[in-house]
Structure 1
Amino acid sequence: MTTRTAPLIALALVTSSLAGCGSSGPPAEPPVSEEALAAVTAHPGAPTRPLARAADDLFTLDGLGETRALVVYHGGRMAVERYAPGYDKDTRFVSWSMAKTVTAVLIGMLVADGQLRLDAPAPVPRWQRTGDPRAEITLRHLLQMRSGLDHTEAGDPPWESSEVRMLFLDGRDDMADFATAQPLEAEPGTKFEYSSNTTVILADIAARALTDSRDPDERRKAVADYLEARLFGPLGMTSVVPEFDRSGTLIGGSLIHATARDWARFGELLRNKGSYRGEQLVPRAWVEEMIEPSPKSPQYGLQTWLNRPLPEGEEHPLFPDRAPHSAFSLIGHMGQYVFVSPSQKLTVVRLGHSNAPERKAMLQQLADVIELYPET
């Protein structure tokens, strides 16, 4: 080796060593798994790999709880479909409080049929006695969760809450009788209080509109047949199993079972303002009414959660800072969501099991999926 070439070789070795030790940017993300990519369809309406990764994180990241199903529709077409082990496209998932929005649609169809009136006193027989202040409660008050009734959704201890007593204890055989028997704690219309008892009252009102019979079997049949003929059948929701109490009242605040695909079909119906394949199953004006904010709760419409901002410092059930304010959602206990964003042509179904802290983190991850879709 000549004295002239030796420094050049040394310089090359040093440069190579420095290049190996240095960093030109953040570390590369791990590759997207084949399972994650397989969950995304050929035309998802968003970049495939980022979408697959964001969806995959819902199933794999720690601290989000257990995601059991994810279905994304964009522009009326399936974009993502994925299930955790033990679940698939035929699994029926319990609605929990997502059922409330189904009950609102049931009421809306009966209003359109002329059977009920939105701003008339709610037709509850026990409230019509002379001097009963509950006679001032309207159907709209019930739908917007501002009846003023003394209903406590979550209590301490839990078994003293109105919801638990109605569903599992002294009210379980005739839930509407239990719910309508409660006194007022506020003037009707003046206070927002979320309540599964309230939705059962609505379900009972629907049954009374459809049949004069008090026979439980007749009440069940009247409501089930109406929903099948007017909503579930035409929409192709073939998996739906609604539950009824012993008196024949639909447990319309908590217990309707359906596959993730069928929950997506219901979300798509609302995204399209009640229209399905050219048929107006639910009046357009009613769906628009469902997503109008209540005067006592900007985040709530008619049995439907809205992505509208709240005053600073108040906790929001959705994420108005990360998705359009026109978006809305069905929300059920332990992290059931059918999120609908018309301006993004988007319906997202997430079903699973997440506790309260996990839901906060999971919602941010769900927002990562939703943010991949631009508004149109």
Structure 2
Amino acid sequence: MHQKLEAAAALAQAHETPWPRDPAAAPAPGQQPWGVHHDDPPPYNRLFGPVHARGPQSGVVWQHGRERFAWGEPERADLTFSVAKTYLALLAGVAEAQGLLPDLDRPVHRQLPGIGFDDSAHNRAVTWAQLLTQTSEWEGSCFGLPDTVDRWRKVAQDPRAAGGPKGGARPLQSPGSYWEYNDVRINQLALALLHLFRAPLPAVFLDQMLHAAGGGAGFAWRGYDDAWIDLPGVGRVQSVPGGSHWGGGVSISARDQARIGQCMLELQRGRRSGPIRASWIDAMAEPSPVAPFYGRLVWLNRGGRNFPGASERAMMMLGAGGHTVWVDPVLDAVVVLRWLDAASAPAVIRQIAAALQDG
């Protein structure tokens, strides 16, 4: 196994993401601009929150609860982009276990009036379940960013054909009937969870997930510069985004990402008690009827087509810039890949899968 993992790590390190390591640096020949915000229509093609320099291509491989291999800088806390979406799903699982989310099919506005879900008949129909599967079709602006900026967005893992130009005026569908990868709607979910917990989401995640898993060093979850609200009875609190599309987001080490994935496996198999029910982890991995390649803010591999080499029960957390957290209950494994060129990710996953099958 060691030799196969060593070869997979060498392949990954030879194909680091083409982004500069410094977000402020101009791309060198053969590189791409840092981030994804520059693809948005103006005036939204800029950063709204802080970012920081990154480390090298890195990774860790765990199986049967033990670290089998690591490379690069696995202790470095780096931005992880849309992997943070799955962290929102885990926070929703904490809320469900605490009795704060008794009914996912309940319209959000009935529980949380006055935060953008009761301003139209369309938005009043939006449920928690739809927000967690990216099928809400919520319409509006969240901290200066309109949902329209991410309409018609096409991401590499979406098997459907592109429908129109990003940011175009795609007609809205009824909530629950259409899947779209939309970061503004994810940020609206984060705002709703902040109101639900009545506490900063970074503190809840650190206490309920990371500290419980034995990690947390260097962890940060930052919001946009103007994403502050006055929460009645609590005070001034920053709402955080579910990624780093426009800056901010989660900074975390590869090993802490592996700890979170391992916690998910152990909760799912009943090997530990924790802040989330096993049934919630199972539900995260259930295909959405509208988008069977997607669950509750995780990418799925049913049929083995999306991520060849991984099992059909694998859950994938993905982030721009080359971030993958692969949680595989069949292989009893967690794999974290950071700053890997997306074009090389399938080959690296296949090589790691072949090594894990020996274990």
TM-score, length of structure 1 as denominator length = 0.68
For residues 148 and 244 of structure 1, the distance between their equivalents in structure 2, rounded to whole angstroms, comes to 23
User: What is aligned with 1:69?
Assistant: 58
The structure 2 residue matched to 1:342, chosen from 324, 329, 338, is 329
C-alpha distance in 2 between matches for 1:259 and 1:364? 23
- The structural deviation recorded for 1:107 is 1.0
Could you tell me which runs of 5 or more consecutive residues in structure 2 were left unpaired when the two chains were aligned. Answer: 20-55, 152-168, 229-237
In the alignment, does 2:206 pair up with 1:228? yes
Cα offset, 1:369, TM superposition: 1.3
- 1:237 matched to 2:215? The reply is yes
SS in 2 for 1:73: strand
User: Using the alignment, how far apart are the partners of 1:70 and 1:196 within structure 2?
Assistant: 26
Does the 8 Å contact 1:275/1:281 carry over to 2? no
Alignment-derived partner of residue 7 in structure 2: 53
Report how far residue 199 of structure 1 moved. 1.6
What is the CA–CA distance in structure 2 between the aligned matches of 1:306 and 1:284, rounded to whole Å?
Answer: 18
Checking the alignment, whether the CA contact within 8 Å between 1:64 and 1:361 is kept in structure 2 is no
- Structure 2 residue 197 is the aligned partner of structure 1 residue 210: yes
- Alignment correspondent of 2:91: 106
Deviation at 1:269, TM superposition (A): 1.3
Contact kept in structure 2, 1:274 and 1:280, CA below 8 Å: no
Superposition deviation, residue 149 in structure 1:
3.3
| CA deviation vs aligned residue, 1:182-215 (integer Å, no higher than 9, x gap) | 997110111110111122111111111122xxxx
CA change 1:151–1:344 in 2 (3 A) is farther
Q: CA deviation at 1:277?
A: 7.0
Asked if residue 144 in structure 1 is aligned to residue 144 in structure 2, the reply is: no
Q: What secondary structure is seen at the aligned counterpart in 1 of 2:348?
A: helix
Between the aligned partners of 2:343 and 2:332, the Cα distance in structure 1 is 24
Contact residue 133 and residue 297 of structure 2 kept, 8 A: yes
Quote how far apart the aligned CAs of 1:340 are.
1.2
Aligned partner of 1:374 in structure 2 is: 357
CA contact (8 A) 2:74 2:255 kept: yes
Which has the larger helix fraction?
1
Change (3 A) 1:263 1:276: farther
> Which amino acid in the other structure matches residue 349 of structure 2?
L
The residue matched to 1:96 in structure 2 has which SS?
coil
Structure 1 CA distance for aligned equivalents of residues 16 and 216 of structure 2: 34
CA contact 1:97–1:331 (8 Å) conserved in 2: yes
Q: Distance in 2 between matches of 1:59 and 1:91?
A: 16
Q: Secondary structure at the match of 1:282?
A: coil
Task: Note the C-alpha offset of 1:59.
Answer: 1.3
Q: Give the share of equivalent positions with the same residue, in percent.
A: 23
**Matching residue's letter, 1:58:** A
Give, in whole Å, the separation in 2 of the partners of 1:275 and 1:265: 15
Match of 1:118 among 83, 95, 104: 104
Deviations 1:299-343 (A, max 9, x none): 100011111249xxxxx6x42x42211011110002100011111
Q: What is the alpha-carbon distance in structure 2 between the residues aligned to residue 150 and residue 340 of structure 1?
A: 32
Aligned residue in 2 for 1:42? none
Going from structure 1 to structure 2, the CA distance change for 1:347 and 1:80 (only over 3 Å counts) comes to same
1:122-164 CA distances to partner (integer Å, 9 max, x unpaired)? Answer: 13533325x6221111100111010123599xxxxxx996259
1:13-51 Cα shifts (integer Å, max 9, x gaps) = xxxxxxxxxxxxxxxxxxxxxxxxxxxxxxxxxx22222
Whether the aligned pair in 2 keeps the contact of 1:149 and 1:186 (CA below 8 Å) is no
Q: Residue type of the partner of 1:90? A: E
Please say if residues 163 and 195 of structure 1, whose CA atoms lie closer than 8 Å, have aligned partners that are also in contact.
Answer: yes
Structure 1 residues 59, 276: closer, same or farther in 2, change over 3 A?
farther
Q: What SS class does the counterpart of residue 371 from structure 1 fall into?
A: helix
- 2:257 aligns with 263
Number of equivalent positions: 281
Identify which of 321, 327, 330 aligns with 2:317: 330
Q: 1:192 aligns with which of 179, 183, 204?
A: 179
For 1:335 and 1:112, how far apart are their aligned partners in 2? 32
- Structure with larger Rg: 1
| Equivalent AA in structure 1 for residue 190 of structure 2 | A
Answer yes or no: is 1:251 the counterpart of 2:241.
Answer: yes
**C-alpha distance after superposition, 1:59-81 (max 9, x if no partner):** 13x58758611100011001011
Uncovered stretches (5+) of structure 1, i.e. residues with no partner: 1-46, 153-158, 165-181, 212-218, 311-315
Whether 1:365 and 2:348 are equivalent positions in the alignment is yes
Taking the TM superposition and a 5 Å limit, the aligned residue runs for 1:21-32 are: none
Q: 1:64 to 1:333 in 2, by over 3 A?
A: closer
